[in-house]
């Protein structure tokens, strides 16, 4: 694949799929169906701004596949949102739900907007307009959105309310990631980072590594990274020696290191809502502040990219220390194809993104189940169920990797694609 195509996320999603479809000898009709989304919606969103003018935004919803259950996936509000990004993310959601073995398909939505430029009222009107435009194609049995980049639990609350008004009944299960007390589930904030570490624990068991005292280096200090750091320390008895994050004022990234181990609770207390750590306060507390890319080069047992996509490239992959045994992809798409080849050759055990970070969508599924029952579980129960789901997803992928002598990423694709193909055949689509 040419370099510019690697940068197009949908081309990347299709290339990853094609590679495994070829290995599996997938029938051409199945291949054609799964390379493309089942349905795509693009719509206009006229919103009254605070100054009285009307501004027209563009929105998308893509349902990649719903053979295994209702489409599921977040809504992104981003200035650079494109249909291809939404298509790619919807495709990855299909594989993620299938590999996590939750009865849902893949979807994704978006709006081309920088939400930081909107007032609270404008955001609410945009959220309600998004639902007005697409509500007939959504629903707990059709397609269930959730928050993603640029959207928040509060926005999900407004969207759920708008949908319920249109339907004339309370329908909390139409959307997940709602605030706790407004139909949300306990444990959702911790879920993705917690799930990342469950897969690391299972990988360590498989590799015969004792977890106590093992070290990790994490990129990012937002939602996923914060809870991955806490769980790595509390569940595994490990030490996180650094986290790296983007500094919005300096428009660059920094790594915050402490050889004896960072204190995630202290770092959380000096981190803003966008995941930027306060440099001055960290320095005063004895943290060493280094270049943002240094996290990748640390002598640690586990690397956890949990920030953004495309950070491990053909150019920097060789900088990964020989000590690293596990790469746990907390972020979506952190590793480019060229780097992936090198990781394979070096025998680094990769826990692929759509397995590693499936804790979030699994907890969203639990939220929907609780909404359906109108009965809510305590946090310990949610996390215990999540632990069990993540561990069994990991084991299924590992079993496939062993049986067919596959790289973990290919094995995860194989498990997911086979599961979706089976559902399509059982429903008589093929
Ligand atoms: P977030 O916005 O809460 O945090 C992102 C973090 O990454 C911030 O600390 C930010 O400073 C940092 N960052 C951004 N650019 C960086 C750079 N160039 N170098 C270093 N750090 C950088 O986001 P999040 O919810 O934690 O999501 C992180 C990743 O995990 C994304 O890829 C997201 O798609 C994926 N993911 C998130 C969830 C979830 O439940 N939140 C679920 C599945 C996957």
| C-alpha 191, offset from chain centre | 11
pLDDT one-digit tens code per residue, 388-399 = 999 999 999 999
Q: Output phi, psi for 139, to 5 deg.
A: 145, 155
| pLDDT band, very low/low/confident/very high, at 60 (cuts 50, 70, 90) | very high
Could you give the 3-state DSSP secondary structure of residue 107?
strand
- Which residues line ligand 1 at a C-beta cut-off of 6 Å? 192, 219-225, 244-246, 253, 275-276, 292, 306-309, 330-332, 357, 360
Report how far residue 255's alpha carbon sits from residue 180's, in angstroms, rounded to the nearest whole number.
33
- Report the pLDDT averaged over residues 345-373: 97
User: What is the pLDDT at residue 337?
Assistant: 86
Cα(274) to ligand 1 centroid in Å equals 9
Q: Where are the beta strands (DSSP E) in 125-227?
A: 143-147, 215-219
Residue to mutate (ligand 1; options 80, 145, 224; most atoms within 8 A of CB): 224
Residue to mutate (ligand 1; options 187, 192, 296; most atoms within 8 A of CB): 192
| pLDDT band, very low/low/confident/very high, at 9 (cuts 50, 70, 90) | confident
| pLDDT band, very low/low/confident/very high, at 4 (cuts 50, 70, 90) | very low
pLDDT one-digit tens code per residue, 156-198 = 999 999 999 999 999 999 999 999 999 999 999 999 999 999 9
Burial class (CB in 10 A: 0-12, 13-18, 19+), 293: middle
- For 115-134, the DSSP string reads GGGS-HHHHHHHHHHHHHHH
Residue 17 Cα distances to 36, 101, 210, 373, 417, angstroms? 11, 18, 34, 36, 9
Residue 358 scores a pLDDT above 60: yes
Residue to mutate (ligand 1; options 178, 220, 246, 277; most atoms within 8 A of CB): 220
Residue 12 scores a pLDDT above 90: no
Q: Return the H-helix or E-strand segment holding 71.
A: strand 71-78
Report how far residue 401's alpha carbon sits from residue 188's, in angstroms, rounded to the nearest whole number.
30
Q: What is the mean pLDDT of the chain?
A: 96
User: What is the pLDDT at residue 374?
Assistant: 95
Residue 299 Cα distances to 87, 196, 227, 270, 319, angstroms? 37, 20, 22, 26, 10
Residue 230 scores a pLDDT above 70: yes
Burial class (CB in 10 A: 0-12, 13-18, 19+), 281: middle
Residue 362 scores a pLDDT above 70: yes
| pLDDT band, very low/low/confident/very high, at 274 (cuts 50, 70, 90) | confident
Residues in the chain: 430
| C-alpha 109, offset from chain centre | 14
Residue 2 scores a pLDDT above 70: no
Domains defined for the chain, CATH in brackets: 38-170 (3.40.50.10860), 190-356 (3.40.50.720)
Could you give the 3-state DSSP secondary structure of residue 185?
coil
pTM score of the predicted model: 0.95
Cα(222) to ligand 1 centroid in Å equals 6
376 or 274: which carries more pLDDT confidence? 376
Report how far residue 215's alpha carbon sits from residue 195's, in angstroms, rounded to the nearest whole number.
18
Report how far residue 87's alpha carbon sits from residue 40's, in angstroms, rounded to the nearest whole number.
8
- Report the pLDDT averaged over residues 404-419: 96
Instruction: Please report the atom of ligand 1 found closest to the CA of residue 274.
Output: 2
Instruction: Please report the atom of ligand 1 found closest to the CA of residue 309.
Output: 32
Residue 225 Cα distances to 230, 386, 405, 420, angstroms? 9, 18, 31, 30
| pLDDT band, very low/low/confident/very high, at 1 (cuts 50, 70, 90) | low
Cα(224) to ligand 1 centroid in Å equals 7
Cα(382) to ligand 1 centroid in Å equals 23
Could you give the 3-state DSSP secondary structure of residue 207?
helix
So which residues are the catalytic ones?
Answer: 108
- Report the pLDDT averaged over residues 108-136: 97
In this structure, which residue's CA is closest to atom 31 in ligand 1?
331
- Report the pLDDT averaged over residues 347-366: 97
Q: Which residues are CB-neighbours of 407 under 8 A, at least 6 positions away?
A: 344, 350, 401
């Amino acid at each position: 694949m040419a370099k510019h195509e690697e940068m197009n996320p949908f081309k990347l999603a299709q290339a990853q799929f094609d590679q495994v479809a070829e290995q599996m000898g997938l029938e051409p009709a199945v291949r054609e169906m799964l390379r493309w989304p089942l349905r795509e919606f693009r719509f206009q969103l006229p919103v009254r701004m605070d100054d009285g003018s009307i501004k027209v935004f563009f929105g998308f919803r893509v349902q990649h596949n719903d053979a295994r259950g209702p489409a599921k996936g977040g809504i992104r509000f981003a200035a650079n949102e494109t249909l291809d990004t939404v298509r790619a993310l919807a495709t990855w959601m299909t594989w993620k739900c299938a590999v996590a073995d939750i009865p849902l398909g893949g979807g994704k939505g978006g709006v081309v907007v920088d939400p930081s430029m909107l007032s609270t009222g404008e955001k609410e009107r945009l959220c309600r307009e998004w639902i007005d435009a697409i509500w007939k194609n959504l629903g707990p049995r059709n397609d269930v959105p959730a928050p993603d980049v640029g959207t928040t639990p509060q926005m999900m609350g407004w969207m759920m309310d708008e949908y319920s008004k249109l339907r004339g009944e309370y329908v909390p299960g139409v959307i997940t990631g709602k605030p706790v007390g407004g139909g949300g589930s306990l444990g959702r904030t911790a879920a993705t980072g917690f799930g990342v570490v469950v897969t690391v624990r299972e990988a360590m068991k498989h590799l015969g590594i004792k977890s106590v005292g093992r070290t990790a280096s994490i990129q990012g200090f937002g939602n996923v990274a914060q809870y991955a750091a806490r769980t790595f320390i509390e569940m595994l008895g490990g030490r996180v020696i650094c986290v790296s994050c983007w500094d919005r004022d300096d428009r660059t990234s920094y790594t915050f290191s402490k050889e004896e181990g960072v204190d995630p609770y202290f770092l959380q207390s000096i981190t803003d809502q966008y995941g930027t750590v306060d440099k001055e306060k960290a320095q005063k507390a004895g943290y060493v502040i280094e270049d943002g890319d240094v996290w990748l080069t640390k002598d640690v047992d586990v690397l956890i990219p949990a920030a953004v996509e495309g950070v491990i490239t053909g150019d920097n992959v060789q900088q990964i220390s020989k000590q690293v045994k596990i790469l746990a992809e907390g972020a979506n798409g952190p590793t480019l194809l060229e780097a992936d080849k090198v990781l394979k050759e070096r025998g680094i055990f990769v826990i692929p993104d759509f397995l590693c970070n499936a804790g979030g969508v699994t907890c969203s599924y639990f939220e929907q189940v609780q909404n359906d029952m109108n009965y809510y579980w305590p946090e310990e129960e949610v996390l215990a169920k999540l632990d069990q789901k993540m561990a069994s997803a990991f084991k299924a992928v590992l079993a496939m990797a062993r049986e067919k002598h596959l790289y973990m990423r290919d094995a995860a694709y194989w498990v997911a694609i086979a599961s979706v193909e089976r559902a399509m055949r059982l429903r008589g689509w093929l």
